[in-house]
Structure 1
Amino acid sequence: MANVIATLAEEYLQASFRGVPFVVVGSGGSNGRNFQIHRYPFRDQVWPEDLGRAPRAYRIRGFLIGPECLVQRDLLVTAAETQGAGTLIHPTVGAIQAALTRFDWYERDGVMGIVDIEMELVESVNWLGSTITLALDAAIGLAAATFGRASASDYTSDTLAPYAYGASVLGAGRAVATSWGAGAVAAIRSPAAVVGAMGPLPGNLGRYVGGNGATIDPAATESSLLDNLTANRQVVSANVAALADATDAGMLATAILAVPESVRMSVADPAGQIAVLAPLAAYGASVVVSDAPIGGAIATAQAATATLCRQAALLSLANACADWQPSSANDAQVMRLRIGTLLDDAATAAADAGSDATFQALRSLRAQVLQDLANRGARLPDVITVTRNAPLPALVLAQQLYANGARAPDLIRRANPIHPAFMPTSFEALSS
C-alpha cells in the first residue's frame, strides 16, 4: 500500500476531507456575485440587485486505491454524513472550512481495489486568504528591516573616509539630518497629522474623518487623541534633537532611522501616515561640490546623509502601506504606481552609488509592497462616473446605486458636495 501511494504521489495530487485522504484527479469551482433579478411589467430591462458575493463552490474528482480503499470510502461516507462543515485540505486551493453538499462514489466494473469519487463543497471559511495577507505583511516587515540594516551599513561605509577629516565634516552631515528633521517636526504638526490622528474616533464622521485601515477605539475622544498626538510630538522632537548629538556615522544613521518611524507611529490612520511621510521621502539637500579635499569630504557626507534620510522615510512609507486599506481598485493602482516609482528611483540611485546591499534590499522591499497592494486591490471594485439629470440627496443616490443607504458617507467623501442633500450631477463612485 505504501508503495502504491508513493507512486501515485508522484503522478497525482493528494487531498483530504475531515482527515480522510484521497487522490485528486481534477478540480473545478464556481465564483461570482449573488444577484436577485427583479422583473417589472412593461419594462424591457431588469434590475439585478447585488446581495453580496456568491458562495464559492468546489467540484473535486478523485479516487481511492489499494487494499484499504473500501475502508477509506466508508470513512468518507461517514465524513459526508457528519453534521456541520469540515476541513478540506486541497493541494491547489489550500486549507478551507467547507460544507460537503454531495459525495458520490463508484466501483469500476471488473476492477478491484479502486474506488472513484466525486464531491461538491461550498466554502465556509477561507484560511488561505488570511494566511496570505499575514504572510505578505510579515514579508514587508522583514524586507523593511533588512533595508534599514543595509542602508545604515552602506551609509557608515560610504562616510568612513569623509568623517575621518574631523568634526567639520561630521557637523555638515548633522546639519543635513537636522534640516530634514525639521521637516519631520513640521509634518507631525500639520493638519494632515491632526486629521490622521483622529482615525480611531468611533461613529460616522462623514468626509472629515475616515481611516484607511485605522483601528477604531470605542473609548477614544477628540481630547484623548489630541493628548496622544501632543505626547507623540514630543517624542518626534526628541528624536530630531538627537540628530545634532550624534558623534559618529553609526549613531547618526540610527538617529535618522528613528525619526520617520516615530512620525508614523504618531498618526493612527495609515492614509495620514503616508501623507505626512511622503514629503520626507522627497527631501533634497543643497550640496556644494568642491575640488578641495575637505570640501569634497563635506559634499560626500551631505549627499550620503540626504540619501539616508530619504531611504529612512521610504522604509516607514513601506510599513504604512502594509496597514493601508484602499477603498477601490483604482486607489490601489495609484498607490502602487506612486510607491513603486519612489522605491524604483531609490534603488537606481543606490545602484549608481555602488551600494549593492541597499540596492538588493530595496528591490526586495519593492516587490513585497507592490505584491501586497496588488493583492488588496484585486478584491475591490473599480471607480466609475455616475451622472444624474438633477442634484439629489446622498441617501437617495446610495439607495439607487447600491440599495443601501449606509453607503451615503462614501459617496459624500468622493463627491465632496457643498451639502449632502445636493450632490453634484456628475461624480465618481464605486462600481459595486
Structure 2
Amino acid sequence: MDWNDKLLKASFRGIPFAIIDVSSSHGRRNATHEYPYRDKAWVEDIGRKVRKIKLNGFLVGSSLLYKSSDIITQRDNLVAACEKMGVGTLVHPTFGELTVSVDDLTIKEGVSNGNTVEFSLSVTESGLRVFAITNIKEIESTVDNSYLSVIASVASSYISSVKMILMKSNQAIKTLVKTTGYWENSITSITDEASNLVNTVNDLFGNRKYGRYSSGDVGGHVNGVNGNVTNTDDTNDYNLLMKQKIISSILNKSKTANNLSSINGLNNAGDIDDYTKNICVGIQSILDSGLSKYDMLNAFEKLYWLQYVEYDVDNKNIIVLAMTNLYFKIIIAALFAKISAEYIPSSYDDAMSVLKRVILVLDDALLLVGNYSLDDVYIQLKQLKSDIINAVNVKGANLSHLTEVITYAPVPALTMANQLYQDANRADELIVSANPIHPAFMPTKFNALSE
C-alpha cells in the first residue's frame, strides 16, 4: 500500500474538503528555572506541548471527489462549523480523527478561483474538561502519595539545614523552641475557635426542623447549594444527644492537645530528628480534632498565613527561625491540599473557589522553597499542585453551576421554586441559599442552582 492509499478524506464536523498541505507543531512544554550564581538553568518538563495544526485546503463546487453541493453552500457550512461553540471532530489526512478547537479560518475567494474556495484552517488539539483519572478513591490516593512525598522531602531538608547550627549554639535551640511554641499556641487557638460549643450544637441539628442556621443532620438537612436532602431521624432525648456530642468534642480536643504537647521538649541537637517528627504529628492532630472538612480548610488556610517573627537575633538564629517557619508552613500547605482533595464540593462554583484558595497557598509555598533553593521540595510541591488541580476539577466537573436570580419584587419561596425548577418541594433549598427575612419574601437578587 503506497502513501496515497493511506490518506484519509479530510473533514471538520462532517464538512468535507480537499487538502493542499498540512503543517503541525509538536514538542514538550518546559519551564526554565534560573538561579543566582548558577551557570546552568534547571529545565523542568511540565508535559507534552499542545499540538497545533494548520490545514491549507480548498472547496470545489459540485465535486464528485467528495460528493459536495454548490460552492456557496459548502463555504457557508464550513464557516458555520468553525464558528460553532465548543470542540469539534477533525479528520486529519494522516493522524485520523482528532478533537480540536478552532483558532482561525481564513477564506480566499476571487474570479481567478472560479468554482473553488481556498481556505486556511488553524486548530488546537483539545482534551476533555474531566481528567483521565475519574475514580475518586484513586484521585485521593494520588494526592495522599504526593502529600507524603512533600512531608518526607521538607523534613529531610529541614534537619540538614538546622542540625549543625543547633549542635553549636544553645541560643539556636531556644529560638527553635520559641518558634514551635508560637505555632503550637496558634494551632490550639484556631482549632478551639472552630470547635466551640456553638459550632458543636449547630453541626448537630438539621435545618429542616431546627431552622436555617443549623447545619447538622439530626431531624433532616437540605443543602442550599446543591439541593441534596438528608432525611435523618429526629431524637426524643435531647439531653443524651447533647452529652454524647459534647463528650465526643472533649475527647477530640484532648487527643489534639496530647499530640500538640509532643512538640515541646527539645533538650539537645541530637533529638532534632524526633523533634521534627513530633512537629509533623502535632500539626496533623487537627485531623483528629473532630472538625468538618470545611472547618479544616478554613483552619489550615488561616494557619498558613501566620508568621512568627523574632527580633535581635544573629545570623545563625535567623536561619533556624526561617527554616522552622518554613517547615511549619510547608506541612500546613500540604495538609491544606490533602483536605481539599477529600472535601466534597456542593457545586462547580464551590469546587473552583476551593481550588483557587489551594493554588494561592501552594504558589506561595513554591515561592518560599524556591527562595531557599530546596529543589527536591519544590519538585514534590509541584507534583502535589498538579494532583490537587486534577482532583478538584474531577470532583467539580459534573456539578451544576450557580446562576443569579433577579426578580422585580419579593416572591414567596414556593412560587420561586415552582418557577425555577417546576418543583415546589425545592423551596427549602432556596430558603437556605438566599437566607430571606421571611420565606414569603425572597430577596430580589440571590444565587441558586441553574438546574
- Pair in the same fold by TM > 0.5: yes
Distance 1:170 1:374 in 2: 44
Q: Report the Cα offset of residue 378 of structure 1.
A: 1.2
Q: Report the Cα offset of residue 216 of structure 1.
A: 10
Aligned to 2:307: 284
Aligned to 2:141: 138
Cα deviations by residue, 1:346-402 (Å, 9 ceiling, x for unpaired): 012112212122111111111111111111121111111101232233343223222
Change (3 A) 1:244 1:321: same
- Do residues 320 (structure 1) and 342 (structure 2) align? no
Change (3 A) 1:379 1:304: same
Aligned to 1:228: 248
Match of 2:293 among 264, 270, 274: 270
Between 398-407 and 375-384, report the one with greater CA deviation.
Answer: 398-407
| 1:364-379 matches, cutoff 5 A | 364-379=383-398
- Do residues 239 (structure 1) and 259 (structure 2) align? yes
For residue 243 of structure 1, give the secondary structure of its aligned residue in structure 2: coil
- Do residues 160 (structure 1) and 163 (structure 2) align? yes
Aligned to 1:209: 215
Q: Report the Cα offset of residue 330 of structure 1.
A: 1.4
Distance 1:302 1:386 in 2: 51
- Do residues 412 (structure 1) and 437 (structure 2) align? no
Aligned to 1:16: none
One-letter identity of the residue aligned with 2:175: A
Change (3 A) 1:399 1:216: closer
Match of 1:329 among 313, 335, 348: 348
| 1:384-423 matches, cutoff 5 A | 384-423=403-442
One-letter identity of the residue aligned with 2:285: S
Distance 1:289 1:185 in 2: 27
Change (3 A) 1:257 1:394: farther
- Do residues 383 (structure 1) and 383 (structure 2) align? no
Aligned to 2:153: 150
- Do residues 342 (structure 1) and 342 (structure 2) align? no
For residue 396 of structure 1, give the secondary structure of its aligned residue in structure 2: helix
In 2, are the aligned partners of 1:329 and 1:379 still within 8 Å (CA)?
yes
Cα deviations by residue, 1:204-252 (Å, 9 ceiling, x for unpaired): 4634315999x99979944323322211111222222222213432223
| 1:63-82 matches, cutoff 5 A | none
Match of 2:320 among 301, 324, 327: 301
Change (3 A) 1:171 1:428: same
Change (3 A) 1:175 1:420: farther
Distance 1:386 1:164 in 2: 64
In 2, are the aligned partners of 1:181 and 1:240 still within 8 Å (CA)?
yes
For residue 189 of structure 1, give the secondary structure of its aligned residue in structure 2: helix
One-letter identity of the residue aligned with 1:170: I
Distance 1:217 1:130 in 2: 33
Distance 1:386 1:395 in 2: 15
Q: Report the Cα offset of residue 200 of structure 1.
A: 6.8
The alignment covers a number of residue pairs equal to 303
Q: Report the Cα offset of residue 164 of structure 1.
A: 1.6
Aligned to 2:19: none
For residue 296 of structure 2, give the secondary structure of its aligned residue in structure 1: helix
Aligned to 1:69: none
Aligned to 2:374: 355
TM-score, with length taken from structure 1: 0.63
Aligned to 2:41: none
Change (3 A) 1:259 1:410: farther
Q: Report the Cα offset of residue 406 of structure 1.
A: 4.3
- Structure 2 residue runs of 5 or longer lacking an equivalent are 1-5, 7-130, 218-222
Match of 1:182 among 179, 182, 185: 185
Distance 1:148 1:377 in 2: 27
Change (3 A) 1:410 1:367: farther
Cα deviations by residue, 1:168-211 (Å, 9 ceiling, x for unpaired): 21121121111111111111211466637965766746343159
Change (3 A) 1:350 1:172: same
- CA-atom RMSD, angstroms? 3.2
One-letter identity of the residue aligned with 1:228: S
Distance 1:236 1:216 in 2: 32
Change (3 A) 1:191 1:417: farther
For residue 244 of structure 1, give the secondary structure of its aligned residue in structure 2: coil
Change (3 A) 1:216 1:335: farther
Q: Report the Cα offset of residue 167 of structure 1.
A: 3.0
Distance 1:192 1:389 in 2: 41
One-letter identity of the residue aligned with 2:176: G
Distance 1:157 1:227 in 2: 42
For residue 392 of structure 1, give the secondary structure of its aligned residue in structure 2: coil
One-letter identity of the residue aligned with 2:296: Q
In 1, are the aligned partners of 2:206 and 2:216 still within 8 Å (CA)?
no
For residue 190 of structure 1, give the secondary structure of its aligned residue in structure 2: helix
Distance 1:153 1:182 in 2: 25
Distance 1:389 1:240 in 2: 55
In 1, are the aligned partners of 2:143 and 2:338 still within 8 Å (CA)?
yes
Distance 2:180 2:231 in 1: 35
Change (3 A) 1:197 1:130: farther
One-letter identity of the residue aligned with 1:148: I
Q: Report the Cα offset of residue 254 of structure 1.
A: 1.5
Distance 1:201 1:284 in 2: 37
Change (3 A) 1:327 1:284: same
Change (3 A) 1:216 1:260: farther
